[in-house]
Each structure stands twice: as structure tokens, then as C-alpha cells.
Structure 1
Amino acid sequence: MKLRITLLLALVSLSSIVFAQKASLSGKVTDRNEQAVVGATITLKGTVRAAQTNNKGEYVIKGLEKGDYTIVVSFVGLKSKTSQVSLSDNQSVSVDFKLEDDGISLNEVAVSTRRGIKGNETLPDVTDFRINAAKKNELIKLDNINANLAMNNSRQIFGRTPGISIWENDGSGIQLGVASRGLNPNRSWEFNVRMDGYDVTPDPMGYPEAYYTPPMEVVDRIEIIRGASSLQYGPQFGGLMNFVVRKPDISTRLTFESQNTVGSNGLLSTFNYIGGTVGRLSYTAYYQKRRGDGWRDNGYFDTDHAHFELSYAVSKKFKIGTEVTYMTTESQQPGGLTDVQFSQDARQSSRSRNWFSTPWLIPTLNAEYIFNEKTKLSWKAFGTIAERNSVGFVNAITTPDNLGNRQVDRDYYTTYGSELRLLTEYSALGLNNTLAAGVRYFNGHIDRKQQGVGTNGTEMDFNLSSGVYPRDLDFANVNSAAFVENIFHITDKFLVTGGVRLENISSTMEGKFNATSNLAPITRKRNFLLFGAGAEYKITPTTKFYSNISQAYRPVLISDLTPPATTDVIDPNLQDSRGYNFDFGYRGQVSNFLNFDIDYFHLSYDDRIGTIAQRINPNDPTSQTFQFRTNLGRSVSKGFEAYVEVDPVTAIFKRSKVGYVSLFASLAHIDATYQDFKTTSVSNGQIVESNLAGKRVENAPRSINRFGATYSLKGFSMTWQLSQIGKAYADASNTETPNAAATTGLIPAYSVQDLSASYKFLKHYNIKAGVNNLTDERYFTRRAGGYPGPGLMPADGRIAYLSLGVKF
């Protein structure tokens, strides 16, 4: 580690020498009271070069070519300023700025963020080669919330995001399981999950389970666009969830940060980060090590995360970069419980030999070119080399572990892809418009090996004791796509959006189903168009109505093409699920003490896939039955979401010497039901038909309500949060009474509280502490049919943590 840091610092020093012969800009930014403005952004308009002011309000941009530049200085709550400057070779020019208060909207945002309001924000209409206007979206700033980030506590992280349901069976924080609007939270697979705009799932079109989650200590923000992201990012019903990690610090040559956490059940976590900018070169690197024994018996995790990012401004208009992310995990899984076992002792476990591991490598390249002040181009190339490995005793939880040979299942993922995006502003028909367009190519391969006979040991060992894998499947998926979306600014207050996305998917499945049967090769090719439109109208400068409708699409997955048994049949005409998302809402802020976002949504999920019983000879009631997987029906999720946060101290007293209080409510009422969905069962040799119409969609609570309060005074902040989640069902038949194996049955309603606090002192230091599940509630959010169960999966009881940090 010391050698790597030494080499990096040497590279930085060399870069400084190389760029010393170029021109440079420097200066200081202050407010009207002559106080330094820390964190102001200095941009050279029409170029890729930028900087931020340091804690003295100073900035510097080195390595500039000679020429004329327009300097733009901006900071939330203050009026932006511009200045023209001409630079010659080797010339150093100093330009200072004094920013005045913005009396309309930005100042209100600034006052809010400096005082009590600490909640979610919304994305700008246009950002990062993407159009967000008229869409339901949230921007979760991790610095704004008190949460157990060392453990990726999703209940706190998404606490202010209405309608988010969470599976809390993985206390290690290795994987997030979240969804919205009645969709399935299984490894967040209904979202298009990305990091810095790159794919991080094995295959968004064939196996979208998110096994990789970045450490929240390095995540700057989480961008969520519900439903209507399909035009620009893919057809998923849930929309986009993009983790944006911290970018290189452009205010200094070197920033160093270390955050070290201890907690209940042997938790030890260390997070270390460096970053900075020298001339045209910017860099970041981080490493996180986290281990613990878990809340339940036979629970253990050990994870390592590493990330490196380097970007270089080749010229004032062209920038290139690379990112490399690596994760390795070792996780012992306690398995599931029966309902009786859960009521006796939720911490017990009868599975001591179940292990899970997901080594993950994501290399990427990127480039950005700015043609002029209105048009720019972005290119990203990315790949994934990863695995999903499990070994254990996987029989029903009612079957005791015989300590014999365990089952080994392994997936190998190899993917690569590329995206090219264009963003431009133009005038036509007397209107000022913004156009976003792009093309995408993805090539993914999954090598799936299952049902191997493993060792009879107790440790994590994926070796086979004998033979080969009875099931050995290959799944290949090639996806090409193109999209275009446009903002039409009808007036200063009213805009409309419209767009279309073209998708081409080619999927191939082949291989060995078991030791004696090969799977007939399956190839599926399809093309489809997605359309979307939206509108936005400003009622005041800080509030607006918004609405959008966008088609959605759920491609046939690898699991849909894999029959559970050799006698099962896959419909050769199996269709991809289709539908649409609709939103209508009102959001904004009132003065500097109230933020809100209230909306109605409607999600139609058509051509859902399921399995029914059929006879080999339909005309012979005595012929043999088989299971047939096909498109069976439709579900609809509709309801209301609301987020409100208010700072009563600011509202009443304007200013306070004893601190500020923020109160928030995140509310969702979700009616997720099946409209028409055929089912069958076999009773006494007869096929009995029925229908799920009117049944609630599984894993979809009707109410998801979270409330909280934050008190802040100077460097101190403390947040209390209450989560109240309604009941749900583990199966589509809405079974109330659990079965013996605890894989079906009711998932009862529950309430859980969290308390977290932080204190920043002496400029460079911080201390964080908290208690999750404050009242030590016993509850569960999931009944699992397979890994990490099977059985009922208890959530963690009360745990505490303490963290010390330093930043220079």
C-alpha cells in the first residue's frame, strides 16, 4: 500500500512539472461580507476544465493552452458571475470574484441546506448527458443524512425516498435489495442498477440481479429516476438507480480521508481515500475493509472494496479517463427459520456450512468532448469479470443438515459494452430546445454450473469432491439500442418532453440440463420500440407540476428459460413482459423551510410470466401432466407517494442560536394487485383452474411510511427515524398460514426505529455513532425459497456502531 501511494505521489509531482510551462488561472472567491466561499465551482465555459475553491476560497487551474476563456463562477445560493480573460503561453493570471446573494430561489436552497433541511433533492432538468425534466426523481446526498454508512444501512439511506420497499435479510450490507411501487426487491433487479453510469449487474437484459453494491462511505449521491428512465437507460419497470462515487477533488493536489468503525457483533470497518487534481490530471483511489460476525448464529462476512479513477484533460475540449473497481466477499449465511423457530429465538441457525462469495471486477474507459458551449459528446466503455459462488446444504429448513456433501453452484460472468451520448441545445420554431441522444452496445455471457457435489467440510470451499457439474448452461445476450429525447421549452414556465428508444435483443441458451439430458438450444431475437412523453409547468419559481408516461419492458430472463425439471416445457412463443409507467405530481419548496414532492403513479405490468399445469394430450383427461411456463396475465400497481420535510425553527424564528430541527415524512400507499392471471393446480389427478384476479402482488406492502426528525447545531447533527411497513404476502396466492418450510405465508407488518448522530470538530475530524433497531424489534421482510434461505429470513435486531474519521 505504501509503495502504491509513493508511486501515485511521484506521478502527481511529475505531472506538475510537465504542466508548469502552460498558462494558469488562479484567484479567490468571496461573498459580499468578504468571507471566503468554500466549494464554489469555477468552470471555463465550453471546455472540460474546472476547479473548486478550497477552505480559503482560493482556486487554481493549471496546464491551460493559450487563448480566450470565459470564466463562470457558481455557488448554490449566490449569483453566478462570468469574466473574460486572454491567456498567453506561460502566463499566470489572477482573477478574483465577489458573489452576491441570489434573492429568488438559489438562496432559499442554500439557507435550507445550511440549516435544518437535510432531505432528498431533485435532479436538474438536464445533467450528465441526461434529460430529467418532467420525471419523478430523487437525489440522495449521502453527506446530508445520518446513517450507518459503514454497513450500507438501506433503511436509513432510503428513509426519505417514498415507496421504497427493502429486503433486510442481509445485515452485512454486501447486497442491497430494494424496489418501488410493488415490484420485487430481489437484489434490486427491477431497477437498472449502475455506478457512475456504467452497468454493474451481470446482464441488465438477461440476469439483472445486483450482486455488487459500492460502499456507501464512498458514494457521493444516489440518483433515482422512477419508471420513465426507460428512454435513456433501458426498459426496466423500476427505472434507474445510479450510484455516483466521489469524483476527484478539483480544489487541491491531495485530499486524504480515513473513516474507521467498530460495532456490535465484531464489526470492524476501515475506509481510506485519497484524491486530488494537479494541472490536467485528476485522480482518486479508495480501499474499504469490512468484517463482522453477523447478528445471527453462523453469520460472518469479510469484504474488500478497491477503486481507482484517473482522468486527464488532453486539451481544453477533450478529456479521457479510466476507472477500475474490485470487490471480493466471503459471507457465511445462517439460512432460514420456520415460524416456530423464529418465535422461539430469531438469532438461532441450523445452517453452519452455507457460504456465498461474489468476486467482482469492473474496468471502464471514458471520454468527453465539448464541441462548443451548447454541444458535447460522451463515450463510455465498460466490462465485468465476476462470479457468483455458493456452497451449502440447500434442502428445506425442516430437513436437518446431515453433514454430508454440500451442493456447489457457480456462475461466471463476462460482459463488455459501450455507450455514446450526445447532448445539445438548439433553437427551432422560435423555441429553445435540448436534445439528448445515444447508442448502446452490450455483449454478455453467463457460464452457469450447478448442483455440483462439494465437500463435507464447514469452511468456504467451492471445490467438487467428485465428478463434474450435472447442470452446465451457457447464456449469451447481445443488446443494441438507440434513443433520442427532446425538451421543448414552450414558455419560460412550461416545457414538454418526448422521445423514443429502439431495442434489439438476441439471446441464446444452451448446455447440459442434468447428467443425462441436454437442453435444446434456444435462440430468441426481437426488436421493439419504447415511447415516452412528459410535461412540466412552474407554478412559482420554486414549485412545479410534472407528469410523464413511458413504456416499460421486462425481457425474458435466464431463469425464465431454465426449466426446473426435465419434464417442464418452456413456451416457444414466450413473450417479454411489457407495460407502462405514468406519473403526475407536484414538487418544490416553500421559502427556506419546506420541501415537498407529492405524486400519483400507475404501473401496468403486462404479459407476466408464470407456470401452469397442462396435459400431454389435452383431449385425454387421464394423460400425464407437465408444467408449462408461459405468459399468464397482468398486474397493476397504483397509488400515492409523498415526501414532506419542514424546518419549523426557520419557519418561525428565521434564525436560531440553539440549533435547527428538521421533521420529515415519507409516505406511500401502494395498491399492487393482479388483474387477470391464470393459475392451475393438480388435485386427485385433475387439473383445477383458477385466477389470481384481485390478489395482491407478492412482496408488495400496501403502506410504506417513514418519519424522522433531525436536530443540528453547528458541527453536531442527530437523526431519529421510524419505519412503519404494512403486511405483505410471500406468494401470489396470498397464503395467510405459513407452510411447514416457511417459504409461503404472511409477512407481518412491523415498525423499527433508528438513531444516528455525527459531530465534526477541529475542521478535520468527525465522530459518528448510532443504534439501529433501537427497540430491538423482531421482524422479517422475506420468505426465501432458495438462497440465502430457504425459509423465513429474520432481519437484524439491535446493533450499535461508533466511527472516527479524519480528512485533510
Structure 2
Amino acid sequence: MVFITVGSLSAQVSNTSNENKNNKSQDSIIPDKNSADNELKEIVVSASRKAEILDEVPSSVTLLSKKQIQQQLSISSNLSDILGATVPGLGFTTNRTQNLGQTLRGRRVLVMIDGIPQSTPLRDGAKDMRSLDPSVLDRVEVIKGATAIYGNGADGGLINYITKKPNPDKKISGTTEAGTAFSLIKPKETAGFFVSQLFTGKLNKFDYVVSGRYEETGLYRDAKGRVLSPEYGMNDLKNWNAFAKIGYDFNSNNRLELMYNYFESTQHTDYIAKAGVYGNFDSPTIGVKGQRPGEPEGTPYNHNASLSYTGENFIGKTDVNATLYFQDYLTLINYSDFFENNGQPATQSKKLGFRLNLNSPYELSSLVSGNITYGLDILSDITDTHLTDGRLVIPEMKMNNLAPYFQIKNMFGPDLVLKTGLRLENVNIDVPDYTTIGIRNYVNGTYVGGGVAVNGGALDFNALMFNAGLRYTKWNLFKPFVSFSQSFSVADLGLVLRAAKENTVNNTSIKAVTANNYEFGFSGAFEKLSYEGAVYYSTSKLGASYVYVDGNPQISRSPEKIYGFELSAKYRLHSKVDIGANYSFTEGKRELATQKVYLGGDRINPPKITAFTTFRPLEDWAIFLQMISTTGRDRFQPVNGAYTYGTGPIKSFTAFNLSSSYTFKEKSTIRFGIENLFNKDYYTVISQWQSNNMNYVKENGTRLTVSFAQSF
């Protein structure tokens, strides 16, 4: 194991050069005293769309290795949980199928699978983090701060899920795994199970990975044994994931690869939500027996497919990568009276895109060299929201995005890296004629806004985004970097159209969000200690914050400023014991006509403190203990005795998780994990800032996961 320390990175990452060839537990790998020098040699591809070592990346990056993902998967199979527990700067988990409010440094994050966008910027459903099963991941790359290199939607950064790669050493190998999970507080009806199968290998010039996983989660209970609310809940989910990747090597320089992933997660439960009393600690929203109306909520399907060609020295020394990709995604939320005459909304998004990426090296002298990365992104995104009875809520928005870009990487000697780049966004969105549906005003119970005939039209957005970064790597004790980057996104156009009062699209107040991100960071190592830190400042002249007006959600457009810092450290206490911790702090305000006000909890998470220790009593036995904590956040005063959306105070809490794995006979592994080890009784962060009765939901009580895996 090695500990990566870049910017705001705090992760344990397996060193690929030292992987155990017999599939033993990688926790048995002990780095030598110089491992800190090797940590920054880890390869990352998402920062500049080409493979490069972390030592040459002038920005904050978090890498989650396959081993760390498995470590967290033994505790929870929810990717929102996994990322919230491991990525500094990312918001706390919601413990829901929805990742609403789980921002990255106070801004929206772009989620991708192998570079295929999962986020739906035209109508943000906040379900993009749970877009596949974590068991198919080889690693996760998180790039923090406004990101010009990927464009629309990456205001706070990006999360790129990198799927598994084939094993080229055998014609066929694989792993079979089965397990169960259940509450230790009141096990009745909580038992779930999962089974998975993986095959991988190489046959002549073909290589492949094929896997499948099925999971049923059972009921989730809080620390008192009460059933958690089923709305957006993880209760009684049926999760399917099918994954295949097939590659063909024409020769050592040319490769063709086809990838497909299918993900489904729907809820099949006999429980309905019973509203609690917000602010009363002993009165949470719970699940009680009852018939849920409508179709099973969740994600009925998420199809992702890509065809990629990679050519090294394609023209001279220029490398090329061309990828054609496709996504078809559908999500359903709960049936409710939010819309006039009731209904169940479904958001569908279909994406078809093409990426052309080229890289050409250059050398001006023995002291000045580098490379130029350049290319073109083309994306078609069709998104709409409709009710399952056929009524249209948000019309079929058709977005065409054309974006050329280039990035220059300059090496001045072996220790100084300078990066600069530009991206030109050209976005066109066509909106057809439509008629709005009435939306419930929860203040007085009436329906407003319905029956407005809106004339469609074309919306055009253009933006030139710039980024630059400088990193100096000579001193192992202190490796600083500075960076500036811009981002561009269309701020939830669907929400604006849903409540449109104007009779034409061109009369609505629709403007893009552009953000500027400034950052200073450093990493360093001294003997057994490694550490890193970053300070950042982000501005946007026209931000996008959700506010409730007359009981309905709307987008408030006003200038925003966000700032914060992240600190991480790890220490090798003993040859068998590692300890580490990190701290993330974010704050933000927006400017109104007469005053500055804090950004709400849906944007700004409270300070996050995580700590861990890894203990290896035996070569094949590893124990991992993790702490997640917050000091809370209280920035707002109640209005007329009540808190509004996003303003509820967040109380402090501290919880612990435990996981362990033991490998015997080289290929057989037993794993177990305990979520909320000491059965801490507390509310989720999102349930506190949402400040309403129906969403006042507690976290899981103690929950055990046990599994057995057999490799061959």
C-alpha cells in the first residue's frame, strides 16, 4: 500500500508495481521508508485527458484504488457513502438513492463513467453518483475545483469512475463472491444478500472482462431499530449490474475497445413514510406498513456504451484517442401530490457523444520539453421530465454541445511543470412549445403556475474557458502548486421551465453559470509522515442557488463567493500500523441587493473530519477502522419560528465504521464490515438542513456485511 498526497488527497492506493500476483490481500503490502517518493508516480488520466503521473499535476486530485473501494464496499454498497467517507471536500453522504447536497467544494460535480457523462445538467435529478455498481470499478479519479478541460457541469470538479481492466496474464480467470447484510439492532426484515461473478482474460489479441452482480438490500433501521423512511431510501432495493469490456490489439500501438454497462436499482417495499416532527430529536420520519402508490421508484435502467480507438505514434509521434459513446438513463421518484391531480415524475436523458483527443510531444532544448493535448468534444443530450401517466412536466430539451480544446504541458527541467489550456464551449438548446402543469404551494395548499402556454425557442450559450497551473517538485519535504481554472454550466434549465410564467422561452431568465477557481496547494513527506493541503477561492458573477418562493423551488441568480481549505496527513506508526486523518472546511456567500447571505446547506456542507487506522496483524489479515465526524454548521435564524429549505442547523456527530479481510489458501477471502460500529443515534446532514417534517430521517444503526470471495 502507498499513501498518495496531492493537493487535498487522502487515500490509500495500491501500488501497481507491487501487486500480489497470487491475489493475496493487498493490505499485506508494506511500503518501504521511501514510499512517499513513489506515491506521486501513480498514474492519473482525468486531470488532463492523458496518462500522467500525479507529481506533474498542478491541481487537487483524489484517487480511490480498487483496494480502497473494496474496503468501503465491505461497509456499504452505496457509492454516495463510499465517496462521502473517502474524498476530502465532497459533502457527507445522504444515505439515500439521491445525492442532493453532496457538492464538491460547494459546487456541482460532473460524474462520468470512463468519460461518459452521467450528470444531467438540463434537469439535475441528483442521482448521478449511483449510476453503476462499485464492484465494477478499478479506481475513481476525483479532480477538484472548476474544471475547464471537461466543460459543462464541472463547476466544483469531476468524478470519473474508471471501470475494470482485463487480466492479460491468463486466458480465463475470475472471482465469485456472495454475501449478506443486516441490522444488528433489530434484524427482522433487514437481511439482504448479493452475489457477483467476474470473468477476465486474454485470448490471442482479444482481452475481456465480463461481470454481473445482483443485490437485495433489505430494510434499513436507525439506532433505535425503527425502519427508515422509504422515500429516496436504500430500503428494499433490487440492484442489477451487468458489465462487459472487450478489447482487440491490432499491434502494440493500436487498440480497439468496446465497453457496456447496465445498471438498475428499484425499490420494492411494503412500507410508506410517516412524517416526523422536524427539530424533535425523538420524532424522526420512519417507515410504516402500507401500500406505496405508483411504480417502483429508483433507476429502472442506465445504459452506458462506448467504442474507443487508441493509436500510439499515429502520425509521427502524435498519439490519438477517439471515443464514440452512448447513454440512456431513466429515473423515477415517488408518487406525490406535488403536481396537480397527483403523479409520479420520471426524468429521462439520452446522450450521444464523440471525443477526439490527440497528444503531440515537443522538445525545445534539453531543459524545455512537454506536450500539447488537443481535440474536440461533441455531445447531444436530450432530457425531459414527464409523469408516468403521460403528462409532460418539462418538455424535451435538446442540447447540442461542440467544444474544441487544447492543453499545453511545459517541463522546465525535471522539477517545474507549467500547464495552460483553453476550451471553447458552444451550446445550443432547443425547447419545443409546451404547457406548464400546476405545482403545489405547500404554504397554502393551492396549485400555481399551471396552464401557462410557453412558446419554445432556441437558447445559445458560448464561453471561452481558461486554465493554468504551476507545480514545483524538487523538494520532497514541500512540493507546492498554484492553479487557476474556469468552468461553465447551464444551471438546471428544466427547473426554470417547469415554473415558467413567461409565454416564450427567450423571455425567461436563463443564463449560464461561469466560475473561477483559484487554488494554492502543497504535498510533502518526512520519514514516516506524509501530508498535503490546499486553500481555494471560487467566484461566480451569476451563481445558481435553490430557494423557495411561495412554497415552490426556484433558482436565485446572484453573485457567489466560496472559499475553504483541506488538510490531510498519514503516519506509519509501526510496520503493521498506519494512521491518517483529514479535515475539510468550506464556506460560501451570495450577494443580494442589500446584503450578503450564507449559502445554504444544499451547497455548503459542514466541516468534515475523517480519520483511519489500518492494522495488519498477519500478512493476509487486515483490519480497517474509520471515523467520520463534523463539528456542525449553524448560519441561519428561523423566520417566523421556522427554518426554510437549506437553512436548518446541523448538529455535530461522530460515527465509526470497521472492515476486515482475511485471505487464506491464496485465493479465498472472507470480508466483513460494520457500519456505525457503536450504534450512534443521529440525523443525516441532508435531513437537518432540509428542515421539513417529511425529510427528517436518521442515519443507519449498526449494520453488518459479511461476504466470501473465491478467485481462480
Please tell me the residue identity of whatever aligns with 1:433: G
Contact 2:244/2:259 (8 A) holds in 1: yes
Q: Which residue of 2 aligns with 1:73?
A: none
Please tell me the residue identity of whatever aligns with 1:221: R
SS of match in other structure, 1:129:
coil
Cα distance change, pair 395–495 in 1 and its aligned pair in 2 (3 A): closer
Matched, 1:446 2:383: yes
Q: Which residue of 2 aligns with 1:238?
A: 156
Superimposed CA distance per residue, residues 232-267 of structure 1 (whole angstroms, 9 cap, x where no aligned partner): 455622112101111011111111112212011122
Within 5 A, what are the aligned runs for 1:283-298? 283-295=208-220, 296=227, 298=230
User: How far 1:289 moved relative to its partner?
Assistant: 0.4
SS of match in other structure, 1:407:
coil
Q: Which residue of 1 aligns with 2:277?
A: 338
Matched, 1:723 2:624: no
Q: Which residue of 2 aligns with 1:179?
A: 103
Within 5 A, what are the aligned runs for 1:121-132? 123=44, 129=50
Q: Which residue of 2 aligns with 1:479?
A: 401
CA–CA distance in structure 2, aligned partners of residues 522 and 784 of structure 1: 40
Q: Which residue of 1 aligns with 2:463?
A: 528
CA–CA distance in structure 2, aligned partners of residues 630 and 220 of structure 1: 37
Contact 1:473/1:513 (8 A) holds in 2: no
Higher deviation after alignment, 369-378 or 781-790: 781-790
CA–CA distance in structure 2, aligned partners of residues 147 and 699 of structure 1: 25
Matched, 1:800 2:704: yes
CA–CA distance in structure 2, aligned partners of residues 356 and 317 of structure 1: 46
Superimposed CA distance per residue, residues 154-204 of structure 1 (whole angstroms, 9 cap, x where no aligned partner): 44555343222123231xx68697322223xxxxxx112111122223457
Q: Which residue of 1 aligns with 2:7?
A: none
Of residues 198, 216, 221, the one that matches 2:116 is 198
Superimposed CA distance per residue, residues 404-461 of structure 1 (whole angstroms, 9 cap, x where no aligned partner): 98622122322200101112221136611121112100001123213xxxxxxxxxxx
User: How far 1:580 moved relative to its partner?
Assistant: 0.8
SS of match in other structure, 2:252:
coil
Of residues 537, 540, 545, the one that matches 2:475 is 540
Contact 1:310/1:322 (8 A) holds in 2: yes
Matched, 1:607 2:542: yes
Of residues 356, 361, 364, the one that matches 2:297 is 356
CA–CA distance in structure 2, aligned partners of residues 599 and 552 of structure 1: 19
Higher deviation after alignment, 343-352 or 305-314: 343-352
Cα distance change, pair 147–212 in 1 and its aligned pair in 2 (3 A): closer
CA–CA distance in structure 1, aligned partners of residues 670 and 561 of structure 2: 46
Please tell me the residue identity of whatever aligns with 2:173: T
How high is the TM-score relative to the length of structure 2?
Answer: 0.81
Within 5 A, what are the aligned runs for 1:66-215? 123=44, 129=50, 133-144=57-68, 146-149=71-74, 151-152=77-78, 154-170=80-96, 178-183=102-107, 190-202=108-120, 210=128, 212-215=130-133
User: How far 1:393 moved relative to its partner?
Assistant: 3.0
Cα distance change, pair 569–645 in 1 and its aligned pair in 2 (3 A): farther
Q: Which residue of 2 aligns with 1:437?
A: 374
Higher deviation after alignment, 279-288 or 487-496: 487-496
Cα distance change, pair 576–232 in 1 and its aligned pair in 2 (3 A): closer
- The higher-RCO structure (CA 8 Å, 6+ apart) is 2
Higher deviation after alignment, 783-792 or 364-373: 783-792
User: How far 1:216 moved relative to its partner?
Assistant: 1.7
Contact 2:534/2:567 (8 A) holds in 1: yes
Q: Which residue of 2 aligns with 1:313?
A: 249
Q: Which runs of 5+ in 2 are unaligned?
A: 1-14, 24-30, 183-189, 221-226, 438-449
Q: Which residue of 1 aligns with 2:592?
A: 677
CA–CA distance in structure 2, aligned partners of residues 643 and 661 of structure 1: 17
Superimposed CA distance per residue, residues 529-568 of structure 1 (whole angstroms, 9 cap, x where no aligned partner): 0011110111425751111011122323223432436479
CA–CA distance in structure 2, aligned partners of residues 580 and 469 of structure 1: 39
SS of match in other structure, 1:151:
coil
CA–CA distance in structure 2, aligned partners of residues 176 and 261 of structure 1: 29
SS of match in other structure, 2:686:
strand
User: How far 1:394 moved relative to its partner?
Assistant: 4.5
CA–CA distance in structure 2, aligned partners of residues 699 and 309 of structure 1: 36
User: How far 1:595 moved relative to its partner?
Assistant: 2.6
User: How far 1:341 moved relative to its partner?
Assistant: 6.8
User: How far 1:222 moved relative to its partner?
Assistant: 0.7
Higher deviation after alignment, 769-778 or 345-354: 345-354
Cα distance change, pair 526–128 in 1 and its aligned pair in 2 (3 A): closer
Question: Number of matched residues?
Answer: 646
Of residues 505, 522, 532, the one that matches 2:427 is 505
Q: Which residue of 2 aligns with 1:581?
A: 517
CA–CA distance in structure 2, aligned partners of residues 605 and 706 of structure 1: 30
CA–CA distance in structure 1, aligned partners of residues 175 and 553 of structure 2: 56
Please tell me the residue identity of whatever aligns with 2:579: L
Cα distance change, pair 517–272 in 1 and its aligned pair in 2 (3 A): same
Contact 1:735/1:746 (8 A) holds in 2: no
Within 5 A, what are the aligned runs for 1:266-277? 266-277=191-202
How high is the TM-score relative to the length of structure 1?
Answer: 0.72
Q: Which residue of 2 aligns with 1:375?
A: 318
Q: Which runs of 5+ in 1 are unaligned?
A: 1-37, 42-51, 57-101, 113-118, 184-189, 397-403, 451-461, 615-624, 651-659, 679-689
Cα distance change, pair 179–629 in 1 and its aligned pair in 2 (3 A): closer
Q: Which residue of 1 aligns with 2:655?
A: 752
Cα distance change, pair 610–275 in 1 and its aligned pair in 2 (3 A): closer
Whose radius of gyration is greater, 1 or 2? 1
Please tell me the residue identity of whatever aligns with 1:179: T
Matched, 1:767 2:670: yes
SS of match in other structure, 1:179:
coil
Cα distance change, pair 569–307 in 1 and its aligned pair in 2 (3 A): same
SS of match in other structure, 2:91:
strand
Please tell me the residue identity of whatever aligns with 1:384: Q
CA–CA distance in structure 1, aligned partners of residues 126 and 600 of structure 2: 24
Please give the root-mean-square deviation of Cα atoms over the aligned residues, in Å. Answer: 3.9
Matched, 1:776 2:679: yes
User: How far 1:794 moved relative to its partner?
Assistant: 2.7
Contact 1:169/1:793 (8 A) holds in 2: no
Contact 1:672/1:697 (8 A) holds in 2: no
